[in-house]
Each structure stands twice: as C-alpha cells, then as structure tokens.
A and B are shown apart, each in its own frame.
Chain A
Amino acid sequence: MRLYHSRNLLAIMLIAGLIAAGAITPALASGEGHGDTEELKYEVDLEGKTGFNLFMAEIYNNNRLLYALVVTVIMAVLGMVVAQITEQILRLIGVR
C-alpha cells in the first residue's frame, strides 16, 4: 500500500476520524469536557401535547442524547426525501 496515494491517505484518515468520533461521543453526551457550553436546564411542559409533539417533548425531557440523534437523523432523511420529491416536481413542470 503506497502511503502517498491520496485514496489510501484518505481511507486512513477517515478510519482514524471514526475511531476518534466514537471515543468522543460518550464524553459529549455525559457533558464531560463540554463544560464550556452549558446544557439548557429546561423541561418542556407535556400538558396538552399529543402525537409527534408529545413524542419529541418526552425524548427531549428524558434522554438528550437520543433527542440529538433523532433530530440529526430526521433532518438528514427528510433532506434526502424532500430532494427526491422536489426533483420529480420540477421535472414534471418541465424544469431541466
């Protein structure tokens, strides 16, 4: 394996980055070493909420790491889904 081939260098750095991310995430979640930014001490009032609003509010109150993962994944997936839909719509109205 030639170290100076850019594809190999990229692969090595990506693996190192993933290992580092895996090591750092638990610390971020527990708040250790994250003392510069305070976690917002805030609880959402669940009264009157139903469906999706209640689901998100409960996760927000009980498990902030899960809330962060859900938000990140939803925005990524929604971005891809909406991209496909708008592309089809633009194609239908003749925008090339």
Chain B
Amino acid sequence: MDFFNIYLPISGIEFNILILVSIGFCVGTLGGFFGVGGAWIVTPALNIFGFSMPFAIGTDLAHIFGKSIIATGKHSKLGNVDWRLGLFSIFGSIIGIEGGKRFVLFLEKTGNVGSVVRWVYMIFLFGLGAYMMYEYFSTMKKQKSEISPGEQQVETTSGLALKLRLINLPPRIALPTSGISGISFWIVFVIFLITGFLSGFMGVGGGFILLPALIYLVGCPTTVAVGTSLLSVCFMSGYGTFTYSLSGRTELLAAMIMLIGAAIGAQIGVLATKFIRGYSIRILFAIMIILAGISVTLKQLHSASNLEIFGILAAYVVMGAAGSMTLLIFIRLVIGQRDLRRK
C-alpha cells in the first residue's frame, strides 16, 4: 500500500492516493445526489488519516469547490438549477456566513465553542432528520389513500412555503425554474441569511441546511433544490477556498487528487437523481443526516469523557454511512440504466 503513497509538498506529509480518491468518490456521489458539499464527511476523514484540522478544512473546501462546479454543470443540463435563485442567494448567504463565523470566534474567546457547536449540530441534525421522515411518511400515507393503484405519487409544495409566498413585501421576484410565479425578495434574503449564519456557525458549506430550506421554505421541487443548493455550495466553497488559501491552509495536490474521484462520483450522483423520485431522495437524505447526528453525538461523548474509542467510532460512523449511501446510489443507477436499455 506504501506504493500508492504520495508526498504532499505544502503540509509536508505522505498520504495514500487511493484513500484520497475514495474519499473524493464517496463525497462526489453524495454531493451530486443530495446537493451537499460533504465537508462533514471529508474533514473528519482527512483528519483521521493524518491531516491537521486546519489543512483538512481548507483542502476540503478546495476540493468541494471543484466538485460542485462539476455537479452544478451536470444538474444545469438536466434543468435542475434555478440560476436566478442561486445568484440571489449569494447576498444573504455571505452576510450570514460572516455573522456565523464571528459568533464562533466570540464563543472561542469564552472557551465554549466546541461543545456549543456540537449541541447545535445534534439538535439540528436529529430535528431535521426526524421532521423529514415524519413529513415523508405522512405524505405517502395521505397520497396512497387519495390516488388509484398504478398512478404515480406526486411531489407537493409544503404548506409553509405556500404561506410564505403570500407575504406581499416588495420587491417580488419570479422564479420560473422552481415553478414560483412570485415571492418576496426579502423572504428569500432572510432564508439565505439564516442558512448562511448556520453554515458559518457550524463550519460547513451549507448544502445540508440549504436543501431542506429550499424544499420546505421556498417550495422548490426536490431535484431543483438539489441543483440550486449545489450552485450555492459552489459560490460559498469558492470563497472559502480563497480565504483559506490566503491563510496558508490548503494542500492543492491533495485537493486535485480528491477531485478526480469526486468528478466520477458527482456524475454518478447526478444521474442517479433521474432514477429516484423526489420523495425518495428526501427520505434518503433524512437517513443520512440522522447518521451524521449519531456521529456528532459520539464526538461529543469523546469530548466529555476523553475516551478515544468514541472519537474513532464517530469518524467511522460518518464514513461508513457515506460509503453505504454511495453504494446504494450506485446500485440504483446501475438498475436504472439497465431498465432504460431494456425499454
């Protein structure tokens, strides 16, 4: 296995190329499928395999930037990117991220940042995962009693999103790709301000917060929410790549190698969305973030008890979840392609 080791010039460590490509492939697949950056998988994985945390974060952002360009381009060809919404998102997101970052630095001075951020993660991940599961099962149950056998179950806009659209605060904007004839610009701005703040506070690209926000608050169809979320991740990770590189915390060679794996994975993840219904993507996403919540809980136990086993388990739970979900997506794509060829 040492044959595949490569010397990374900036961080000055040796790293296995196969591990870098594998991490990139998994995160690329999940990114293309769910519209997330995957920082919550890559950063702990890189840290476990030898990167210091600052380099893990900066290198991860650089690779996410390249990967999200690939996935966004692919989703755009499939008509899944609401460019107008994505561009409007930049303003609220950047202000929100800066606010979240400053709040983290304030907490750092009080010495509480690690624990507070992890508790917020747990509440958010478990709460969101539980809500998405509840929403999925209750909608499926309702639709099954309303539709005839053989008829396709359709995705509906959430009630909350419909109510938010009724708020008549000018200027109003139209988002035709998302099927929205009019929504107040300020609703969109505040949604992205809050999601940006949470991203900056939790130190992530924002995809896993943005995806449910686009579905349940803006009311985008799931596949458009995936594509548009990726566009936003693209902008945010580009900004993050630049600022982290400015601070000397990116290993370009490692990011380039991970990108090769991510490029293949992103194509697979994006294509797989064509063979899975919108609601199924939501339930898989809910499962993924609940598993991520379990990983964060283990990390919190590690921090509280200082027992190394919790720290190791935390990392392996999140990587195991990522690997299993990647395999599931890949299998679904293969089955979908086979059925397509038969037709």
Contacts and interface: CB of A to CB of B under 8 A. Distances in A.
B is a partner of A: yes
Interface of A: 3-4, 6-7, 9-10, 13-14, 17, 28-29, 36-40, 42, 44-45, 49, 53, 56-57, 60, 64-65, 67-72, 74-76, 78-80, 82-83, 85-87, 90, 94-96
Given A82-B263, A90-B267, A96-B340, A4 B248 contact: no
A76 B173 CA distance: 30
A38 B259 contact: no
Nearest to A76: B69
B173 A79 contact: no
Contacts of A57: 9-10
A42 B248 contact: yes
Interface stretch (B123-131, B146-154, B249-257): B249-257
B246 A68 contact: yes
B121 interface: no
Contacts of B7: 53
Interface stretch (B42-50, B60-68, B204-212, B279-287): B60-68
Contacts of A95: 271, 337
Given A6-B172, A80-B73, A95-B337, 10 more contacts: A10-B84, A13-B88, A28-B246, A60-B10, A67-B245, A72-B62, A74-B252, A83-B263, A86-B70, A96-B340
B25 to A, nearest CB: 11
Consensus secondary structure, chain A interface: helix
B230 to A, nearest CB: 12
A79 B102 contact: no
B323 interface: no
A78 B247 contact: no
Interface in B250-281: 250, 252-253, 255-256, 259-260, 263-264, 266-267, 271
B73 A83 contact: yes
Interface in B177-208: 185
A10 B9 CA distance: 42
A75 B244 CA distance: 14
Interface string B47-91: 000000010000000110111111001100000000010011011
Given A76-B65, A80-B73, A86 B87 contact: no
A73 B154 CA distance: 42
Contacts of A86: 70, 263-264, 267
Given A6-B84, A9-B171, A36-B102, A60 B248 contact: yes
A42 B251 CA distance: 13
A84 to B, nearest CB: 9
A44 B252 contact: no
B170 A4 contact: yes
A36 B112 CA distance: 17
Interface stretch (B157-165, B235-243, B288-296): B235-243
A69 B90 CA distance: 20
